[in-house]
Structure 1
Amino acid sequence: MAKYILFGSYCENAIEKRTPYRQAHLDGLAKQKEEGILITLGPTKDNSKVFGIYEADNEAIVKNLIESDPYWQNGIWTDYEVKEWIQAF
């Protein structure tokens, strides 16, 4: 399977705005982790960007997971880019 990286942005005041969606977001990430698709995901310290690493059969699977996430659907994540990644080390 290929590895993919996610780079994305958060909305203004994301910490406050995410509150109603946070548990559903975390539950979805835990499921992806259990299934072996999500390797890691998290915000930058200033909470302006999100970074993630996925392992999946194709990019469409990763994009579907992102676009199904409550943070994307409710405007907490405002944009994203997915790139296939070659892990050198």
Structure 2
Amino acid sequence: MPKYILFGSYCENALEKRTPYRQAHLDGLSKQKEQGILITLGPTKDNTKVFGIYEAENRETIKELIENDPYWKNGIWTDYEIKEWIQAF
């Protein structure tokens, strides 16, 4: 199954602004992990970017997951890019 990487950006003051949406965000990620779609996801140390690795049938599946995430819907994530990834090692 293809693997995809996510690169995205956080809004300014994301640590404060994410608070009302954090539990729903984490619950959704846990469900994706249980389903075997999400491999890993997290912010950069300075909390300006998000990086993730997914495994799914197609790019549209990942796009739908991102755009239904509370962080995207509420402006915590401000942009993103999905690329198919070839895991060499």
TM-score by length of 1: 1.00
TM-score by length of 2: 1.00
CA positional deviation for 1:19: 0.1
**How many residues matched?**
89
Per-residue CA deviation, residues 17-58 of structure 1 (Å, 9 max, x unaligned), is: 000000000000000000000000000000000000000000
Match of 1:56 in 2: 56
Q: Give identity over the alignment, percent.
A: 84
What does 1:33-52 align with in structure 2 at a 5 Å threshold?
33-52=33-52
Match of 2:16 in 1: 16
What CA RMSD, in Å, does the superposition of the two structures yield over aligned residues? 0.1
Q: Equivalents in 1 of 2:39, 2:67: separation in Å?
A: 18
Q: Equivalents in 2 of 1:39, 1:6: separation in Å?
A: 11
Point out where structure 1 has 5 or more consecutive residues left out of the alignment: none
CA positional deviation for 1:80: 0.1
Q: Equivalents in 2 of 1:16, 1:60: separation in Å?
A: 30
CA positional deviation for 1:68: 0.3
Point out where structure 2 has 5 or more consecutive residues left out of the alignment: none
**1:34 corresponds to which letter in structure 2?**
E
Q: Equivalents in 1 of 2:62, 2:38: separation in Å?
A: 9
